[in-house]
Amino acid sequence: MKNFLLGALLSLAGFPGLLSAQEQQMAQIGDFKLESGEVIPDCAIGYRTFGTLNSDRSNAVLFPTAFGWRSAGLATRIGAGKLVDSVNYYVIAVDFLGDGISSSPSNSKSKPGLSFPQFSIRDIVNVEQKLVSENMHIRHLHAVIGFSMGGMQAFQWAVSYPDFVDKIVSIVGSPQLSSYDLLLWRTLLLALESDPAWKDGQYGREPALHLMNMVQSLALQTPEYVVKNTARQDYPKFESELSQGSDDLDANDTLRQIQALLSADVAASFGGSLQRAAAAVHAQALVIVNKQDHLVNPLPASTFANLLHAQLIELDSNCGHRVHGCEMQRIGQEIGAFLAK
């Protein structure tokens, strides 16, 4: 696994308007205490910026990464005709913990591998808030936008920092995992841990995680989409592409990300009550779900949207969880209108 922390120490975070060419940047957070009480020593967070911060710093939009994504990949979702416009907004694409760029099991010198502590969605949001407020000196966000696990972070931002952000957009995210989600993601975790090449996290060569990737692929898109887009004779190639490549996440990074995803629950600090969590939210919300999403069940997001009296868009696409790419132009138009209100 390449150590992406090296070669990215252009930390002009105190002057975010000066470096807006989508380059990888790093912010040094210092020792970061997690909710568990454990500490990530010398915590570093990666990010990229798109567009220009206006004079009163009121157009900043945070765009956190999704499971298995990095900020470089979010560039395909930023710009005209995409999910978020970088002409009117200063978009901060942030690498969350455990993605191999920000502090992770794969790049930590003091706590490598599984000695790197488990972290939660709330920990991820807390460290992002420190990045924005203390390193980038932005005291308020116009919006937090995310898809999938990034959408989970958007919900948590609204609950954890109700006066820091004006608007949130969650696309195929969830405020609280359903029983189906728990079953699926626990299965993925067990598939990773059962891989003989994983060796309890003590591997020398990166394991392919073939079974885990196959299980995830079963839920990522609908059966109809797979059948229509993958001919039977092309199946061997389709399956071989599910083996993890050299540029994908390190296996221990993946494990910690799955564990963080399993922690997603905005009601955790409110006695398990989504109603009480919703009452704490001050931000306006746009919630976009896909009825045919088999990877993140849409029901909790729809329920929470109703509790928030939020704008709810229910898509019905056989693209499944990847609707943020298949329907990017339509979703981007809805987001653009929502942000401009």
Q: What is the DSSP secondary-structure string of 136-198?
A: S----EEEEEEETHHHHHHHHHHHH-TTTEEEEEEES--SB--HHHHHHHHHHHHHHHH-TTT
Cβ-based neighbours of 73, under 8 Å, separated by 6 or more: 65
* 152-171: pLDDT as tens digits: 999 999 999 999 999 999 99
What share of the chain has pLDDT > 70, as a percent? 92
How far is the C-alpha of 64 from the C-alpha of 67, rounded, in Å? 10
Q: What is the arithmetic mean of pLDDT over 182-187? A: 98
* pLDDT band with cut points at 50, 70 and 90 for residue 246: very low
Token readout for 321 is: 């969880």
Residue 40: its H or E element: strand 39-50
Q: Say if residue 13's pLDDT is above 80.
A: no
Please report the pLDDT score of residue 9 as a whole number: 29
Q: Say if residue 293's pLDDT is above 60.
A: yes
What single DSSP character describes residue 84?
B
Architecture field, domain 180-260: Orthogonal Bundle (1.10)
Q: What is the largest CA-CA distance in the chain?
A: 57
Please report the pLDDT score of residue 245 as a whole number: 53
* 90-116: pLDDT as tens digits: 999 999 999 999 999 999 999 999 999
Q: What is the arithmetic mean of pLDDT over 52-76? A: 95
Please report the pLDDT score of residue 242 as a whole number: 75
Neighbours of 29 (CB within 10 A): 19
* pLDDT band with cut points at 50, 70 and 90 for residue 239: confident
Please report the pLDDT score of residue 247 as a whole number: 57
Identify the CA nearest to 158 among candidates 36, 51, 64, 271.
Answer: 64
Domain ranges, ordered by start, for the chain: 1-62+83-136, 180-260
CATH of 1-62+83-136, one of 3.40.50.1820, 3.90.550.10, 3.40.920.10, 1.10.1500.10: 3.40.50.1820
Cβ-based neighbours of 227, under 8 Å, separated by 6 or more: none
Please report the pLDDT score of residue 201 as a whole number: 97
Mean pLDDT, the chain, integer: 92
What share of the chain has pLDDT > 90, as a percent? 89
- The model scores a pTM over 0.85: yes
* pLDDT band with cut points at 50, 70 and 90 for residue 268: very high
Please report the pLDDT score of residue 240 as a whole number: 84
Q: Say if residue 20's pLDDT is above 90.
A: no
3-state secondary structure of 104: coil
* pLDDT band with cut points at 50, 70 and 90 for residue 67: very high
Cβ-based neighbours of 234, under 8 Å, separated by 6 or more: none
* 273-284: pLDDT as tens digits: 999 999 999 999
The residue with greater pLDDT, 183 or 247, is 183
How far is the C-alpha of 94 from the C-alpha of 78, rounded, in Å? 13
Please report the pLDDT score of residue 325 as a whole number: 94
Helices (DSSP H) in 47-120: which residue ranges?
A: 71-74
